[in-house]
Every structure is written in C-alpha cells, then in structure tokens.
Structure 1
C-alpha cells in the first residue's frame, strides 16, 4: 500500500500554467455553475507554476492536502475560471507534522491567509464535521480543476464537480482515510479539494490508485484531525510558527 501511495502522490500533483489546456476537470464530472461553490480555493506556486485545490474554512484559513506544500504559494478566492484569476493572497503553511510523502495518512494542511478574506456571494466558508465521529452521508460531492482522464493530463480552466456514493466494501487502510471506488473521480491536479457529504467538508482529496477495473480514491478524514486543526488555528493567531 505504501508503494501505491507514493506513486499516486506523483500522479495527483502536476505542474502547469493557469489557463493552459482544455475545459476539463474530475473524471466523469461536469462543469459547476459559475461561483456556485464559493468556498473553493485555487492554490498556485508562483515559481514552479504547480497548482492544487483547497477550500476556505475560516476567513483567515484555507484547508488543503499536506502533499500540496509549496515554497511560494498564493491562494485565489472566488475563482470559477482559472483564466481569470483575481489578486492572489500570500499564506503561511502549516502541514500536519506527522505527514510523510511515502506513507498513507495525515495528508492535511492549513494555510493562514496574511490578508483575511472578505466574505460575500462569491467567497464563503464551508462547515467542518462535528467533533464526534458521526455517520457520514453516503451522497457526496467532489470537485476541482484537474483532468478528465486518468491516463492523460489536460488541466481544467473551469471548476468541475461529480456526485459520488460511498460504499461499505472498500478497505481504507487507516481510520483517517475515507474511500470510494468506481470508474470516475478526482484525477491529476485535483489534490487538496474538498470531499463534501451532506453539505459538510468531510474529506480532502489525497490519492488514488487503480484496482482491477476500478479506481480507489482516498480522502483525508477531517473529523480525525479536529483537535490539531483547532490548535493550529488558535496558536497561529499569535505566531507564524506553530509546533503541535
């Protein structure tokens, strides 16, 4: 499983320039209504031009995957089409301290905005799970600016989304991973986006791998990390470096 994790991390990350490619994203998905997902965040490294997705969880915090950590990141709020990016916001990165690139688990990171977001119709926050480990709705939604194909990369310029149904016959390996299987789902460039069930951000797009004729997609389960999330958000208001 660790080998699968290492390979798929390489697949989900991709270097590209905003606006390149075709209007694709999420294998089997369809275009979102413009600005209908106002919590979505586009993350771009200004040096390497590599990108990831994220989502706004507080006026001053974006949540994404730890393997999306970049040297010179900026976040872009209220984006529908990446050909028309607004002014970017600088951030301070707080990846989970136990995340390792060659292992499954702890693939979560918080980005503190140096300029808090102004909430409006096109920029809003999304709810996180309750502290207790409640049952997750089986009807879920995933979205991103990634590719529509697993075996060929073509970056999305418009946000796309896909409805998926959780099943109980997938072994997710660790308690902090939610899984689903099928022939459609997140692909190259969709890392860090939200996995939304019942209107709540329950997971973070982390990895996928092929098993037989299906693809297994893994999402970091946010409810398993709420203590760490709250600690970072509290301490980050006092200092740019947090040891949790």
Structure 2
C-alpha cells in the first residue's frame, strides 16, 4: 500500500500528548451507565501512563485489542473500569499481535494473555465473538471508549462514553478484513482497540480514522476474518 496514503490516516492510539483527563469522552454520543459494558478493558503503559488503548475481554484470560497498541511497551490491563480516576490493580499480560500487521490497514488485531485470569462477575464479563467469517452483521452498532471528545486536539475522557453508529457499506474499504464507515461522530484518539458491537456481538476493533473531504471515515478490523488466527493463539494458551 502507498505509504503516502497511510500517513493521511490518524491511528487512534494516543501515543504522544500527555493531556489532562476531562469528564467527556468519545466524540458525540453520551456517558455510558457505569459498569453497563462490563467487557470493556482499559489498557495503559505501566511506565508511561499517558499511553493508553482500549480493549475487551473475550475469555477469562484473553483481551482483544488493536495490533498498533503494541506501541505500549509495558501494558497492563484494568478490568471492571467505569471511571479511570479509580483504577483497580493492573494485570500484566503477554502480547500476541497479528504476525502480518505492518502498520498499515489490515491485520490490526492483537490478543493479550492475562497472567492472572479474570474473575467474572457483574462488572467483569466476556463479550461474544462472531462464529463464521461470513456471518451477517447488523447495521446498527455501538462503539465506546475513554478517548478524546474532539477530533482536532486530544481531550481524553475519564469516564466511559459510547455512541451509536450505523454501518453503510461493508465492502467499500481498503482491505478485506477492514470495515470502513463514514460517520460524523465516533472513535477518536485514545479509542484504539475498542470494540464495534453489533447485535451484542463484537464484530470489529477500532483501528483508524481517515479525514476525507466528505467527512470522517473510521476503519474497524473485522474480527470474523481473523477467527482462524484467533483460535490458534487461544488454543495454544489454554488456562
């Protein structure tokens, strides 16, 4: 892929600006009811806490996120979080980014193996994944995260926010395992790795945002296209 095209894309990992936390969140949308999304996982670098991503729990010992979040060199995951002002004890992980990810759209998926498996309860649960690569995806979806409330500059949220999105065309994108969607609101910096939830199924992973003359296009890694790799990694590392 032409590198000039790629540099026009803003990866949604917050990796540069420290920024003060604010009580806002994902661009548009609204504040989530506390602990209403118990599969959501906050990921932060334990040495550079200004570096953060989102993720979601897919097994008691595995979190799914974006491969470009491997830029967090010393990640810890935080479960059952609503407000990042009050973080529980972080859990160390082993990282498994997709081997074919090369900092371009496509294969932007990573699994994090928890060194201490999660205890499932009302505030910590697992989200379902699609069963087949060609499963039909509901067009009415939901995105969420602790990222910025603005596209222009970084204004991170301390509380989880969410926004409804409507998928328009699942085939109009740059790679077969990427869903592109034009929407005036949605993920921004700091929302990398969060889920695209459609019909209570995690169908995508927040990957990038591209600014075009027509508006903002968000790219989501399509999970169903990576099921073979996901199953191999998770079977190799059973509890």
In the alignment, structure 1 segments of 5+ residues that lack a partner are: 239-244
Q: Does residue 136 of the first structure (1) align with residue 107 of the second (2)?
A: no
Instruction: Map 1:96-115 to 2 at 5 A.
Output: 96-101=98-103, 103-115=104-116
8 Å contact kept, 1:27–1:150: yes
User: Which residue does 1:153 correspond to in 2?
Assistant: 154
Deviates more, 1:202-211 or 1:7-16: 7-16
Q: Distance in 1 between matches of 2:170 and 2:221?
A: 18
Q: Contact conserved, 1:60 with 1:115, CA < 8 A, in 2?
A: yes
Q: Does 1:56 align with 2:42?
A: no
CA shift in 2, pair 1:42/1:17, >3 Å: farther
Counterpart-to-counterpart distance in 2, 1:169 and 1:214? 17
Number of equivalenced pairs: 236
Corresponding residue SS for 1:55 = strand
Task: Give the C-alpha shift of residue 194 in structure 1.
Answer: 0.2
Q: Secondary structure at the match of 1:14?
A: coil
In the other structure, the counterpart of 2:43 is 43
* Distance in 1 separating the partners of 2:4 and 2:130: 30
1:203–1:232 Cα change, 3 Å: same
1:117 counterpart residue number? 118
Q: What SS does the corresponding residue of 2:9 show, helix, strand or coil?
A: helix
Is residue 13–residue 68 contact of structure 1 (8 Å, CA) maintained in 2?
no
Could you say if the C-alpha distance between residues 145 and 3 of structure 1 is closer, same or farther in structure 2, counting changes exceeding 3 Å?
Answer: farther
Q: Does structure 2 retain, via aligned residues, the 8 Å contact 1:29–1:148?
A: no
CA distance in 2, matches of 1:222, 1:234: 17
Aligned to 1:81: 83
Q: Distance in 2 between matches of 1:33 and 1:3?
A: 41
Distance 1:148 1:80, change over 3 A: same
Structure 2 segments unaligned to the other structure (5+ residues): none
Residues 169 and 88 of structure 1: is their aligned pair in 2 closer, same or farther, counting only changes over 3 Å?
Answer: closer
TM-score where L is the length of structure 1: 0.92
Q: Distance in 2 between matches of 1:48 and 1:4?
A: 30
C-alpha distance 26-3 of structure 1, shift in aligned 2 (>3 A): farther
Length-normalised TM-score, structure 2: 0.93
CA RMSD of aligned residues (A): 1.8
Distance, in Å, in 2 between the alignment partners of 1:220 and 1:2 is 19
Q: What residue is the counterpart of 1:241 in the other structure?
A: none
Match of 1:127 in 2: 128
Question: Could you give the per-residue CA deviations for residues 74-126 of structure 1, whole angstroms, max 9, x where no partner exists?
Answer: 0000000000000000000000000011x210000000000000000000000
CA distance in 2 between counterparts of 1:222 and 1:171 reads 17
Aligned counterparts of 1:56 and 1:11: Cα–Cα separation in 2:
20
How many Å apart are 1:25 and its aligned residue? 1.5
Structure 1 pair 110–137 and aligned structure 2 pair: CA distance change class (3 A)? same
Once the two structures are superposed, residues 118-139 of structure 1 have per-residue CA deviations (whole angstroms, 9 ceiling, x without a partner) of: 0000000000001241111000
Question: In the alignment, which residue of structure 2 is the partner of 1:92?
Answer: 94
